[in-house]
Amino acid sequence: MISVSNVSMRYGAKILFDDVTITFTPGRRYGLTGPNGAGKSTFMKILSGELDAQKGTVVRPKKVGILRQDQFAFDAYRVIDTVIMGNKGLWAALEERDAIYSKAELTDEDGMRLGELEGIVGEEDGYTAESDAAVLLQGLDIPDELHERRMGELQGGQKVRVLLAQALFGNPQALLLDEPTNYLDLDSIHWLQDFLSRFEGTLITISHDRHFLNSVTTHTADIDYETIITYTGGYDDMVLAKTQIRSRLEAENAQREKKIAQLNEFIARFAAGTRSSQVTSRKKEVERLQTTELARSNIQRPYIRFEMIRPSGKTALEFEGVRKSYGELTVIDGFSANVMRGEKVALMGRNAQGKTTLVKSLLSGIPDLAEQGFTLDAGTIKWGHEAQIGYFPQDHTGVIEPGLTVADWLHQWDPKATKEDIRGILGQMLFRGEEGLKPTAALSGGEAARLLFCKLMLQKPNVLIFDEPTNHLDLESINALNISLQRYEGTVLLVSHDHDLIDEVATRIWHFENGAIDDFKGPYEEYIAATSAAR
């Protein structure tokens, strides 16, 4: 159990949450929700003890598994050791035991201490620690050949999965997971969902993956209105309950305000007359009915709408024999396909299977969108008649050049657009008021993503290509993107690990696995059914 009593946190005049008292119960799995900037990561750090609250106390169990955000802290250690470090008591006992055994001669005290340490190792399942850690790593797609490597040799996404295994190791009584699905492919996310659904301790997780939250969590702790309110159920259940409760409160306030207005009218008419007792009675009634000022929600919902200037030809894209290798590793091996106007193709599969490589291959002949230095080994690519392509790359580095304001950067993509047009599109993506004058060099990851959406809305292309568009978005923005792509009448190529986005948008699946690409003409639900039946 994790117990929070009267905890408050603010930065200057901004109150994140005030006087919060909440208990996180064993056996329950909590999603910690709220928009970017609401204080989710701050509250998680308070729960873990990494950060002290400005007011209040936190009581936590002895064993807490925490997903570490510093990817470089363990670079000097073996992967398998990094996982075992998740059990601090066991790791300390193993290190001390090895230090004693490394001595040239052992004293009687050393012998007694070794006996104590062996007891700790046994109690903490230390004799099966490496095999237990290996099982976790395999589930998170870290192959056996990497287990003995140093963490510094791994790629960023692989490091995140090892740190996730570290948090899960050692049977912690509570798990604190901040964005555990970041950099995970869909297979790894599904594995994690199954693992966490069987976890018997207290789980608190922050995630921008709606399907993950709905699948895993039993309760939702929502940071809004300068407090934290707990709801029963997953994310969708919380949104429904929160909307209903807020609507009821606002309706009750409106009724009270109407009644107060009627009473004040009576008081004004008869204050100087003979009905003094009735006036006094109504003044007391006004005091009793006085409406409470409802705290404002800090949720901001963007409005994304992708339109086309004109449709493309009936065939939006056709390519044949596309092949791309890196050294001796063949990533795309002669893939061919035709994409018809209006199709929405999801590119799926584990990380490093070639999804981004195929996107780069398809864009390699387009001067403004081709990656510098990228060359296709073989194949022909033909974009359809009047195909106009809008591209959202996975890596934003260098896409938004510094030295401009947000408004000036956006305006260059359509010089004919008026200032009102630019201001309107920026406002839809939450760049309001003076935020349009913000320097592009100062943009956060989420702001950069929203600005790229602005560019696509301004350009109005008839083909949209997205490579991991949800990486820096909060749930409100992801939901807005989901709805906009469902309504979009053009053609979409979408690389994503977001289950709901794929499930609700895609009409066709390209599944990448071990160098092969399975082209399935149908939505994700039908693809899952077909592949399950084939096994």
What is the distance between the alpha carbons of residues 15 and 256, in angstroms, rounded to a whole number? 28
What is the distance between the alpha carbons of residues 344 and 334, in angstroms, rounded to a whole number? 22
Segments of the chain assigned to CATH 3.40.50.300? 1-62+173-257, 315-534
- Residue whose C-alpha is closest to residue 175's, from 31, 21, 9, 22: 31
What is the distance between the alpha carbons of residues 273 and 255, in angstroms, rounded to a whole number? 28
18 alpha-carbon distance from chain centroid: 25
Strand partners of residue 381? 319
CATH for the stretch 1-62+173-257: 3.40.50.300
315-534: CATH superfamily: P-loop containing nucleotide triphosphate hydrolases (3.40.50.300)
Which letter does DSSP use for residue 151 in this model?
A: G
- Residue whose C-alpha is closest to residue 376's, from 386, 385, 366: 366
467 alpha-carbon distance from chain centroid: 15
Strands 64-66 and 14-24: unpaired
CA dihedral for 497, 131, 166, 228, sign (positive or negative): positive
Contacts of 365 (CB under 8 A, 6+ apart): 381
pTM of the predicted model as reported, rounded to 2 decimal places: 0.79
Strand partners of residue 427? none
Which letter does DSSP use for residue 392 in this model?
A: E
Instruction: Print pLDDT tens along the chain (535 aa).
Output: 899 999 999 888 788 899 999 999 999 999 999 877 788 989 999 999 989 999 999 999 988 999 876 778 899 999 999 999 999 889 999 999 999 989 988 888 988 999 999 999 999 989 999 999 999 999 888 999 999 999 999 877 788 889 989 998 988 899 999 988 887 888 888 888 988 998 889 999 999 999 999 999 999 999 988 889 999 999 999 988 888 877 777 777 777 778 778 778 877 877 766 667 777 887 777 777 776 666 666 677 899 999 999 999 999 999 999 999 988 888 999 999 999 999 999 999 988 789 999 999 999 989 889 888 899 999 999 999 999 999 999 888 778 988 999 999 999 999 999 999 999 999 999 998 888 899 999 888 888 999 999 999 999 999 999 999 998 888 889 999 999 999 999 999 999 999 999 999 999 999 998 888 999 999 999 999 998 877 6
Question: From the CB of residue 466, how many other CB atoms can be counted at a distance below 10 Å?
Answer: 26
What is the distance between the alpha carbons of residues 446 and 408, in angstroms, rounded to a whole number? 19
- Residue whose C-alpha is closest to residue 492's, from 313, 340, 343: 343
3-state secondary structure of 486: helix
CB 515 within 8 A of CB 333: yes
